[in-house]
Amino acid sequence: MSRYPLIKTIRDIEDIERTPWREYCPHTSTFDIIQDAAARHGDLPAIMFLPFGTAAEEPHTITYEQFAKRVTGTANLFRGLNVGSSDVVSYILPNLPETQEIIWGAEAAGIVNAINPLLEPETIRKLLIAAETKVIVTTPPLPTINLWDPLVAIADELSHVTTVVYVDPGHYFGMPRATRPTETPKGKPIVCFQDARDQQPDGGLNFERDFIPSDIASLFHTGGTTGTPKLAPHTHENEVFNAWAISRVTPFEAGEKAVVGLPLFHVNAVIVTGLASMLAGVAQIMVSPMGFRGPGVVDNLWQVIDRFGANSMSGVPTIYSALISVPTDGLDLSSFRFAAVGAAPLSPELFRNFVEYSGVELLEGYGLTESTVVATTNPLGGEKRVGSIGLRMPYLEMQCAELDEHGEIKRFCDTNEVGTIVIRGPSVFPGYHKRADNGLSSDGWLNTGDLGRQDEDQYFWITGRSKDVIIRGGHNIDPSMIENTLEEHDAVALAAAIGQPDVYAGELPAAYVQLHPGAEIDAEALRLWAKERIPERAAAPVYLEVMEALPVTAVGKIHKPPLRAQAIQRVVETALADTETKASVEVLQDAEQGMITRVTGSNTAELRKQLGDFALTFEFIAD
């Protein structure tokens, strides 16, 4: 049984809200949550690390008491490196137990900044500058991540960087401790994390820190690697509240186990299967340094769940799509109670197929980095409306609204009327780091950039996107990164990038260009040219088309909805091209449901089966 009655309807949420949330959750910092977990669950496992992500290996297990001591030692280490409460520690790391120690230790000493280790060095450099990083934490060269030389050079270049710390994961693979120089070429200290941490006192912080809920705990990159990157700060209150709110909609129990395979530079892994698990005393089964991307990890996941009796996991649609192709014969999955899914659109067909295949409840939700992470979920204890993103979290205000040209709310929408989804409440961030466009209205509403409607029972439904972000397998890509690169080509006058639907990744980048008068270029040659220059590998377009003229609005701005419609039609027609089922495809704009893909053919049941894995709104018509 859950520590709380599970939420079933909006009325349950309203009942909870009769009491201030602070009376349920008195913690003032993430460090407080970890220390409290050690006091209550000291002997229980906090982390079970499987270096190869297989069921055959013995996990490296760290108890809550041990983990709290390591986090404390890490905090003392960073304070010893002169990291104050407003200084930033940036980590560029794979998924390791030490990564978790660094996240929470850095938040106790100062501010932690999460960076994707798969980014190009120049992009990482911009993020380090934007955060005004004081300490860089990375690894020695690894087969999957080798940023050592570029990061040492960047550390010497940036005056605000004082120290480089490296985490050596070799001991998990039976390798001797790596040796690195003790200084950069310009004399900045290089420190081995494990050695330095173990020399620190771990019974308590050896410095004074009076945590205030509004203190900044972390920075997360949220799109835009050209120009000044957007960094979203989270306060300690943001993270504590969201972890607690997650515990009200999921039946986490002390002693249970959650599979962690999403990357630890992403808010989902840090807060959902991270901090929320710690608040409840749940063990995190970490599967390989590359998480779900590790070789063979997904193929072994059912076996891991069987052997270790895992109770839950969190993933993106691509993971669940892959899992329904992995055999479960002879395995006992009775412990596995629910799986959370978010970060990218989930097709109704995939939802039904996964539940039917696994017998496991699939909990679809919605959130943003700017809302810490989770903002809505389909209630695990109540009705789950397939295709909906569910009910708002307790204590969050969430509405569909009509906005003016300055992003201020003109009016809130009626039931089932489409508008921009806006959010306000204790998990909404305080505004982008050192940017004039802080992302909030004058009265604190976060403009999500997503279009949606709210039905009569207050379930939310996404109908489209007013912002242009491309979501590839749960990873946000700023289209301007693609567009700016393409427009550097001498032949290109204008470029527009959109996300085209993909069964596996949800969306893939596609680009459309308009050439200068008289210019000529082969589309595939231009696509390959851009692929070599776009700073983020995941952003390289998989499709590029040269158009005579890009569609524009009445005031001359590039109008992307027709491009999205064209991409949907092209991809769906391609999916049907190799089948014997004949059909016509048309993409329409509906006032209530957004873009609808109308497929007309003689065998609608077969069409539904063939196209069901696309996260699109379909209308099948028999001819």
Q: pLDDT, tens digit, for every residue of 589-606?
A: 765 566 888 988 888 888
CATH class held by domain 10-392 = alpha beta
State the burial class of residue 20 (Cβ atoms within 10 Å of its Cβ: 0-12, 13-18, 19+). exposed
Question: For residue 289, is pLDDT > 60?
Answer: yes
d(C-alpha 237, C-alpha 215), whole Å: 8
Domains 10-392 and 397-465 share a fold: no
Note the pLDDT tens digit of each residue in 211-232: 999 999 999 998 533 345 689 9
Phi, psi of 285 (to 5 degrees): -90, 105
Mean pLDDT calculated for residue range 45-72: 97
Q: What is the pLDDT of residues 87-117, one digit of tens each?
A: 999 999 999 999 999 999 999 999 999 999 9
pLDDT value of position 133: 98
Residue 247: how many CB atoms within 10 A of its CB? 21
Residue ranges of domains in the chain: 10-392, 397-465, 470-556, 563-622
Candidate ranges 283-287, 310-314, 340-344, 378-382; pick with highest mean pLDDT: 283-287
**pLDDT surpassing 60 at residue 237:** yes
pLDDT digits (tens, 9 = 90+) for 337-374: 989 887 666 667 778 888 889 988 888 888 889 999 99
Q: What percent of the chain has pLDDT over 90?
A: 60
**Of 263-272, 313-322, 530-539, where does mean pLDDT reach its minimum?**
313-322
pLDDT tens across 114-151, in order? Answer: 999 988 898 899 999 999 999 999 999 888 788 999 99
The secondary structure of 115-171 as a DSSP string is: --TTS-HHHHHHHHHHHTEEEEEE-S--SS---HHHHHHHHHH-TT--EEEE---GG
Least-confidence region, from 22-26, 53-57, 226-230, 505-509: 226-230
**Contact indicator for 429, 438 with CB cutoff of 8 Å:** no
Strand partners, 259: 285, 313
Amino acid at 418: V
Confidence of residue 556 (pLDDT cuts 50, 70, 90): low
Check whether 2 has a pLDDT greater than 60: no
- Collect all residues with Cβ–Cβ distance below 8 Å to 299 and sequence separation of at least 6: 326
Q: What CATH topology corresponds to 470-556?
A: GMP Synthetase; Chain A, domain 3 (3.30.300)
Could you tell me the fold of the domain covering 563-622? Answer: GMP Synthetase; Chain A, domain 3 (3.30.300)
For residues 601-623, average pLDDT: 84
- Smallest CA-to-CA distance from 530 within 487, 589, 572 is with 487
| Dist. CA 133–CA 160, nearest whole Å | 6
Mean pLDDT of 431-458: 89
Residue with the bigger pLDDT between 556 and 460: it is 460
Q: How confident is the model at residue 320 (pLDDT cuts 50, 70, 90)?
A: confident
Q: pTM score, two decimals?
A: 0.81
**CATH architecture of the domain with residue range 397-465:** Roll (2.30)
Please compute the mean of the pLDDT values over residues 519-531 and round it to a whole number.
93
